[in-house]
Amino acid sequence: MKRAFNLVLLAVIVSACSQREQTTPQPDPAGRKNVVFILSDDHRYDFIGFMGKVPFLETPHMDRMATEGAHVQNAFVSTSLCSPSRASILSGQYAHNHKVVDNQSLIPEGTVFFPEYLQKEAGYQTGFIGKWHMGEHHSGKRPGFDFWASFKGQGVYYNPTINFNGQDQVHGDSAYVTDVLTDYAIDFISNRDQEKPFFLYLSHKGVHADFKPAKRHIGKYENEPVAYPPTMFPPGHERSTVSADEYNYEDLPNWAKAQRNSWHGVDYMYHGQINFEDFYKRYCETLLSVDESIGTVLDYLEKEDLLENTVVIYMGDNGFSFGEHGLIDKRQAYEESMRVPMLAMGGGIPAASAVREVVQNVDVGPTVMDLAGLETKAHMDGSSFKKLLYQESIPWRDTVYYEYFWERPFPQTPTVHAVRTSQYKYIRYHGVWDINELYDIENDPNEMNNLIRNEDYAEVAKGLREALFTWLSETGGESMPLKPDHGKRFDHIYRGTY
C-alpha cells in the first residue's frame, strides 16, 4: 500500500532505530512484558469460528489465539456502548465514575488513562492506532500515547484520512481502514525504540455498522443460510419456532416489544434501510479483515522473535444482538449485548487454556499495568487478571455489574442496571413503567423465561437487587447523569420534533 510517512516526526517519536544494528530481542530484565491490545467494535462473543455459533464463519487467526493461548470465556463490558466501554478500558473505571456515559460525553478534565502510568512509571513507549471516540470529534493527540494514528469520530471504511502524529494523511485507491490501521501498527512496532518495552493499542473501526467489508470479502457469504435465534419472533408469529411454554413473551418488557419496530428492531431496522439477512452477512464479511489484521500482527511478532515476551490481547468493545428478543445493536443487558470475545496469547501464556472467571473491561488497564510491573491505582474499579491468564488460582469475583444510561438519540432503550452471577441475571429498568427481569442463565442461556413473577425465585431477585444497590453505593454510582439535548429528535415516530 502506498503511504507517505513524515520521517522527521517519526524520528522524534521512535528515535533513529533504523541506524542501529538489529539484534535478537532480549527478555526485559525487570520481567516486564510488551503488550499489544487489539480492540474490535461491536464484535459479539460467539461470532468466532471455533465457537461454532455461525457454521460458515472463518476466523483462523482468532482460532489460533485460542489454540496457542487462552480463551477468556466469560468476558463482559460494564456498559455496552462504544464510548463508555472504551473509557472504562483506558481508565479502569465504571461509567458512573469516568463520566463518559454516552457517545457524546467528553472525557472529564483530569482523567488519567493507564498508558500514562506505563510511560511515566515503567518507561514504556506507547502507540495508539485507530478509533478513539469518547466524544472527541477530532483526530488530535491521544493522551498517554507517544505515537498515534487516528481519525475523527466513527471514521469511514474506505479511503480514510488518518492523523499520523499531528499530520493528516489521506489514503485513496480504495484503501480499506482495517488494512491501513494494521500497516500503522506494524510501523510502530518495527520502528520502536528497542531499548524500551512497548504497549500498542490497535483499535479497529470494524465491525461497526453500517457494515462495509473489504472489497476482497464482499459477497463471500452471500449464499450462506442465516439462522434466527429462538426469541426473534414471538410465539404465534408465522415465523416463530417456539411455543408460549418455551418463550415467556408475555413477560418480556414492553420497551423491548415496542423496539421491534424501531431503528434497533428487526421489523424496521435502521428505518427500513436494510434487511436482516444482508445485515447479518455483511457483518460476518466485515469481521474477516479484523481477523486478518490479528494474523498480520501475530505473524510479524513471531517473525521478529517478539512473541516470547509480548502478550497479545484481543477483545470486543461491546457485544451485538442479531434478532434476540426482536432486537439488533447493543445497549441492553442481554447476554449477546454485554458479553464480548477475549483472547490472549504470547508472553508464556499456556496454550489451549481457558479462563472461566468473569472478567470485565474495567480489568484491562490493571492487567496491562500488572504485565508492566505496576500496581493497580486506588481510583480504579477493576483488578488485574494477569495470574488467571497464567492459570494461577487467585481470589476472584463471581459477579458482573452493568449499567447503561438512557440516550436522547436512541430513546427506545431505557436506563438499565443489571447484576449477573454464574447462575442468575437480574435486570432493573429505571424511569419507565415496565417489568424487570430475572433469568436462570445456567439453565436458560437464551433468556427465554423471565422468572420475576415466580414466587419460588422472589428471594433470588431480592438478593440480587440488594447486591446491585450495594455495588452502586460502594462505587459512587447512585447519581444519574443528565446531558443536554442536541438537535431535533431522530426516532422515526417523533422525528423532527423538539
The crossing angle, in degrees rounded to 10, of helices 364-371 and 114-122 is 10
Cα–Cα distance for residue pair 308/204, rounded to 1 Å: 25
Indicate the pairing of strand 70-76 with strand 339-340: antiparallel
**b/e string for 400-432 if b means 16 or more Cβ within 10 A?**
bbbbbbbbeebebbbbbbbbbbeebbbbbbeee
Indicate the pairing of strand 147-150 with strand 161-164: antiparallel
pLDDT per residue of the chain (498 residues) written in tens, 0 to 9 = 434 434 334 443 444 343 334 456 677 877 899 999 999 999 999 999 999 999 999 999 999 999 999 999 999 999 999 999 999 999 999 999 999 999 988 889 999 999 999 999 999 999 999 999 887 777 778 989 999 999 999 999 999 999 999 999 999 998 999 999 999 999 999 999 999 999 999 999 999 999 999 999 999 999 999 999 999 999 999 999 999 999 999 999 999 999 999 999 999 999 999 999 999 999 999 999 999 999 999 999 999 999 999 999 999 999 999 999 999 999 999 999 999 999 999 999 999 999 999 999 999 999 999 999 999 999 999 999 999 999 999 999 999 999 999 999 899 999 999 999 999 999 999 999 999 999 999 999 999 999 999 999 999 999 999 999 999 999 999 998 888 888 899 888 898 999
Confidence at residue 401, expressed as pLDDT on a 0 to 100 scale? 98
Sequence-ordered list of residues with C-beta below 8 angstroms from that of 141, at least 6 positions apart, any chain: 148, 166
Confidence at residue 384, expressed as pLDDT on a 0 to 100 scale? 98
Cα–Cα distance for residue pair 110/72, rounded to 1 Å: 32
The crossing angle, in degrees rounded to 10, of helices 82-91 and 114-122 is 20
The neighbouring-strand residues paired with 315 are 39, 342
Cα–Cα distance for residue pair 386/377, rounded to 1 Å: 15
Confidence at residue 208, expressed as pLDDT on a 0 to 100 scale? 97
Q: What is the pTM of this model?
A: 0.93
Which residue do the cell numbers 490497535 mark? Answer: 202
Residues 341, 315 contacting (CB under 8 angstroms): yes
Cα–Cα distance for residue pair 33/79, rounded to 1 Å: 29
Please give the span between the terminal C-alpha atoms of the chain, in angstroms, as a whole number: 47
Residue 19 CB neighbour total at 10 angstroms: 7
Confidence at residue 483, expressed as pLDDT on a 0 to 100 scale? 82
Confidence at residue 493, expressed as pLDDT on a 0 to 100 scale? 85
Confidence at residue 137, expressed as pLDDT on a 0 to 100 scale? 74
Closest CA to 189 of 301, 26, 346, 295: 301
